[in-house]
Chain A
Amino acid sequence: MKACMECHPDKAEATVHVKKGVHCESCHGAAKAHTEDWEKAKPFVPSTRADCTRCHAMIVSRPAWYPQIDPKTHNPDSKCVHCHSIHELPAVKK
Chain B
Amino acid sequence: MSEDPKDITRRETLQTVGRSVLLIAIGVAGGVGGISTLQNVRREMKLKGTKKEGRYPGSPWYSMAIDIEKCIGCGRCVQACSEENDVPPGHYRTWIERYAIMKDGSVSITSPNGGINGFENDIDEDKVERAFFVPKLCNHCDDSPCTQVCPVGATFETKEGVVIVDYDWCIGCRYCIQSCPYGSRFWNPKRNTADKCTLCYHRIKKGEQPACAEVCPTGARLFGDLSDDASPLAKFVRENATMTMKPNLMTGAKVQYKGLSKEVV
Contact = CB atoms under 8 A, between A and B. Distances in A.
- Do A and B associate with each other? yes
B143 interface: no
Contacts of B125: 60
A89 interface: no
B75 to A, nearest CB: 8
A61 B216 contact: no
Contact of A60 (B69, B131, B214): B131
Given A54-B118, A60-B121, 10 more contacts: A25-B214, A26-B76, A26-B217, A55-B74, A55-B118, A57-B121, A60-B125, A62-B73, A66-B72, A66-B218
A63 B216 contact: no
A61 B215 contact: no
Interface string B104-146: 0000000000000011110101001001110000000000000
Contacts of B215: 23, 25-26
Interface string A14-56: 0001001111011001100000000000000000000000110
A55 B128 contact: no
Given A26-B76, A57-B121, A63 B219 contact: no
A17 B216 CA distance: 12
Contact of B80 (A1, A30, A58, A63): A30
Question: Interface majority SS on A: helix, strand, loop or mixed?
Answer: loop
Contacts of B70: 63
Contact of A59 (B80, B84, B119): B119
A13 to B, nearest CB: 19
B214 A17 contact: no
Interface residues of A, number: 20
Interface of A: 1, 17, 20-23, 25-26, 29-30, 54-55, 57-63, 66
B71 to A, nearest CB: 8
Contacts of B100: 60-61
Interface string B90-102: 0000000011100
Contacts of A29: 83
Contacts of B121: 57-60
Given A59-B121, A60-B125, A62-B72, A25 B80 contact: yes
A54 B78 CA distance: 14
A54 B74 contact: yes
Nearest to B79: A29
Contacts of B75: 54
Nearest to A65: B69
Nearest to A24: B215
Interface in B199-228: 214-219
Nearest to A64: B69
A60 B130 CA distance: 8
B126 to A, nearest CB: 10
Nearest to A28: B215
A63 B69 contact: yes
Greatest chain B CB density within 10 A among A29, A54, A61, A66 is at A61
Contact of B83 (A23, A30, A66): A30
A9 B129 CA distance: 45
Contact of A61 (B80, B83, B119, B214): B119
